[in-house]
A and B are shown apart, each in its own frame.
Chain A
Amino acid sequence: MDIRVLGLGNVLMGDDGFGPFVIEALKAGYEFPPNVSVIDIGTPGLDLAPFLIGADAIIVVDTVRADGPGGAIRLYRREQILKHAPGLRLGPHDPGFKQALLTLEFAEMGPSQILLVGAIPALTVPTPFLSRPLRNAVPVAVHEVIEELDRLGSPARAKRGVIDVNPWWERAA
């Protein structure tokens, strides 16, 4: 089973970098079986489609526009995304995600299982740092991804010791 965990978002636009940050946290804290790819995919818009072709299941981590406080995590499944998509914040990857899924669905190349782990952003401005509420939401999103991998029968293994998450874009100038 080909499973892809994709972090979507722009790491230079504050909370929009949530998806890529969660990918860094997953890679720092866990080891994954060979059938699971964990990828910081940025904001590819429709160019997302080729990265979804051939996947049986995808887990997408992104920011979403929904009612609730900054940092709240919302989960969406395939049907909800395709029928009542939440607005994914910040242009370059909206409508890319839904459009890419619909295109692949039509071409019968799309993944059959989808989980979107969405975080409600607090602040999207040009900065390479997450706001405090979003930083606090990272472990919650990581937990949702790990649970989904368990459910899909491809569990990740937690690394031992103190885990330091230090993505390159947060290093000081």
Chain B
Amino acid sequence: MSGARFAASGTGDSAVTPPGAQTGVRAAAWRFVLQRASAAVLAVCVVVHLASIVYAVRSGLSAEAIVARMHANPAWPAFYAIFVVAVAIHAPLGLRAIADEWLGLRGFVFDAVLALFALVLLGGGLYAVGALAG
């Protein structure tokens, strides 16, 4: 299957890209690549996160314990920063597909709303990592 054919599935472009619209196809291909690349990163991040949830709950969940864990090793803040960047790419693209295919919401204004949501996730997530590691 070609990239363009893939790009039309699950990325909210099935109804909006007319044949021959090169820019639309290219943008859809980029969304496809970003969605899958971020998914691959998230697959690793979520496994680590699920394991750390069980560990954190078992060893007593408190504000002090969370902060102490983030200070124990600089790899943790770096890991969660990567996690946040990947999720800020992945979640808005997923919402875009749902909105397009199920609600018929599409176009520049809705893309702008999703871009804003991506910034909220990126900013809020990195702020939380900074607050925990600071």
Q: Do A and B come from one complex?
A: no
Task: Show the binding face of B for A, using Cβ within 8 Å.
Answer: none
